[in-house]
Amino acid sequence: MHPTAPVLARSGWNVTTSGTSLTVDMHRTATVSAVVYQPRRTSGRSLLSEYSIRLSEDGRHWSKPVAAGTLADDTSAKTLNFAPQGIRYLRLTATTTAGGRSGWATGAEEIGHQAVGSADTRADIQLLGDPGFAGAPASLPVAGWTVKATDEETGQANDRAANVLDGDPATLWHSQWSPKATRFPHALTIDMHRTTTVSALTYTPRPTGVNGRIGTYAIYTSLDGVSFGTPVASGHWADDSTVKTALFSPQVPARYVRLVALSEAGQRGTWSSAGEIRLSGAVDPSVSGSWGPVTGFPLVPVATAMLPGNKLLAWSAYAVDRYGGSNGYTQTAIMDLTTGRVTQRRVDNTGHDMFCPGIAMLADGRVLVTGGSNATRASIYDPRTDAWTSTADMNIGRGYQAMTLLSNGDAFVLGGSWSGGDGPKDGEVWSASTQTWRKLPGVPAQSAMTADPRGAYRADNHMWLHATSQGRVLQLGPSKQMNWITTAGNGSITPADPRADSADAMNGNAVSYDIGKLLTLGGAPAYENTPATRRAYTVDLNGGGQPVVNRTGDMASPRAFSNSVVLPDGEVAVFGGQQMPVPFSDATSVMTPEIWSPATGRFTPLANMAVPRNYHSTANLLPDGRIFSGGGGLCGDCATNHLDGAVFTPPYLLNPDGSEKPRPVITSSVPDRLALGSKLSLTTGSPVSSFALVRSGAATHSVDNDQRRVPLAFRQNGDGSYELSVPNDPGVALPGTYLLFALNADGVPSIAKVVTVS
């Protein structure tokens, strides 16, 4: 649940039921960000399993689902998140009931009865308002704007209305309080002196003191400054200092925007105040991209792996919403990206609680998962048979370790002092041919640690590993000291250069965006409770000697616990994270993703997320060029469990009006397997300018050492077909499952063909 989102008062609501749907009429427009559903406790079962949520302004015309998904079959309260929107009506529909049992229609009646004030607590819903941290789109420039207030303090202080537009949060507007305080309502009216489409208002409370924080509010717009009509947003803001956002649904053309304060958040008096107020314009999806509906999962997707067949594998721990102990089983789920359905399954047969593991995508497309709560165990998921099996235990128990596949098809693991007891977590290698583990005494974990004040327990976690030729690995972080690792025989580890002027960057990201080129970004000097960095660096391995590191453009926001994904065109998108990393917290959440361009070295902001994605969140590139982002939390009875995810559509797929751009299409068949050094002939439905292989990724705890992008050399034949050249070096095209994209001259990718490079 949003920890700062207020529960909307249910007085005056009207709730009706019809078959499998429940409709709430709040009889006013309010910003709503989530439904909290408490299943009936008497049956011991959840009534609602698969669900959808739609919104309406008039009760007749309904949106497409803003959220849908599958709930865990238990009696815990469920928070169904979606992007905050100003609406009057909300409809919750059951697609299926838990365990295939009947009862939602009756349950809907019970919920509706409770929602309007019954003492019956068998089932209940609540709606959450503005979460506070859900920022608005980019602000409109305020040059030339003016603002007027119904009243302002000028006698004892210079608290004029104009202060809300001066760009200085230390100044403020305050309603008149001398010689006598005026009564509610207090209103501020902004005149932009031109008509523009407006999508949101952002309110920054006064930076000093608490008096006058706006509580209940309503926002109106006008084209002429005379007729303001009905509110475009209304609600109640929490009594705290966080920036507040009210989103308008739909976006409206306006010249004037009026904020009316109807109460003081802390009921301290009849006054109102504001530090700054900004308005946001229309969102251009061709620049910012767009988000699909929030999809509910029956568990917190702490770890995810992209599978063939357009499916996403996810798992949490022994429980769907918490971790602890070594219970010998894991809650898993598979999302079918074609249908949107999510199915749940408990894996018992491997004796492995796979919370906080290492992950490697094997050469044949299977997923190797090691350690975690059951610290020595190792399990393999085969997507061809949908089966989990055990492989040999590791020699060293580990949790929070890092893994990567090697160029020879074996897998390397290093670090992981979170689990498995005391002692060094030195390197070892899993053999694909013998399925056994071999210690590497020449690869001590100590050489690759950060200087975390908590020592090895936090210092050897979540390493960034990049496999290269001849079984070698570059460990390029999160320690500021980079290292070359060999894995033959006893192995060895030798220092590479430091990562330029970077500090240690625990819980940051490293992404391979081109052959021998990586981007590192974010992280913090210690695992938690230290400020994150906004810095980013490129690491180039193509010089034949030590890696060449250069600082590239900074992100707009510092981030730790974020996730980054390489796109088919070589750009890198980063999602979520915190400015101050604190596990199981949504404080200091960064809600605006960014995308980095290798051509410019700059980051550009993207459309805001609806749900924070911090500790225990994931992100994965999908075969259609979109990105899944989900998870966060896993803290049991806490306010920051996010049992959901959403799909982001990058700007390269969208026109300014939000419609999809025409895509190139690979029209010829592509073999399931491509040999290293081979040629591939194919045809496309329209001209293309580039091709790229992007390796299927597996993400957990901000790390995805599996993803890498390999641009392909090609030539165009006289008949319009193309001949592609697959690299002959397994250190470049690491064995495994890849997404093959064709891109046109505008950078629009095709839907990928899934191939195995071996």
Nearest CA among 178, 194, 219, 22 for reference residue 110? 22
Which residues are within 8 A (CB) of 382 and not within 5 positions of it... i.e. 6 or more apart?
366, 388, 389
- Distance between CA atoms of residues 622 and 627, nearest Å: 6
Concatenate the DSSP letters of all residues of 697-733 into one string.
-EEETTB-SS-BEEE-EEEE-TTS-EEEE--S-TTTS
- Distance between CA atoms of residues 728 and 712, nearest Å: 11
Which two three-digit tokens encode residue 753?
A: 């063909």
- Distance between CA atoms of residues 111 and 616, nearest Å: 32
- Distance between CA atoms of residues 209 and 159, nearest Å: 14
Which residues are within 8 A (CB) of 392 and not within 5 positions of it... i.e. 6 or more apart?
378, 430, 435, 436, 437
Which two three-digit tokens encode residue 744?
A: 């046109």
What distances in angstroms separate CA 337 from CA 315, 359, 575, 672, one per listed residue?
16, 22, 20, 20
Answer for the pair 620, 606: CB distance below 8 angstroms, yes or no.
Answer: no
615 is catalytic: yes
- Distance between CA atoms of residues 680 and 725, nearest Å: 7
The 3-state DSSP class for residue 165 equals helix
Concatenate the DSSP letters of all residues of 196-244 into one string.
EEEEEEEEE--SS--TT-B-EEEEEEESSSS---S-SEEEE--SSSS-E
What distances in angstroms separate CA 700 from CA 302, 365, 432, 463, 632, one per listed residue?
6, 18, 23, 12, 10
- Distance between CA atoms of residues 297 and 303, nearest Å: 13
- Distance between CA atoms of residues 756 and 125, nearest Å: 47
Which residues are bridge partners to 551 per DSSP?
537
The 3-state DSSP class for residue 448 equals helix
- Distance between CA atoms of residues 285 and 607, nearest Å: 8
Answer for the pair 647, 628: CB distance below 8 angstroms, yes or no.
Answer: yes
Catalytic residue among 256, 615, 652, 738: 615
The 3-state secondary structure of 46-72, one letter per residue? CCEEEEEEEEECCCCCECCCCEEEECC
Answer for the pair 580, 527: CB distance below 8 angstroms, yes or no.
Answer: no
Question: DSSP state, 113?
Answer: H
Q: Is 489 left (phi over 0), alpha (psi -120 to 50) or beta?
A: left
- Distance between CA atoms of residues 111 and 570, nearest Å: 49
Answer for the pair 109, 14: CB distance below 8 angstroms, yes or no.
Answer: no
Answer for the pair 447, 493: CB distance below 8 angstroms, yes or no.
Answer: yes
- Distance between CA atoms of residues 563 and 406, nearest Å: 23
Residues assigned a catalytic role:
615
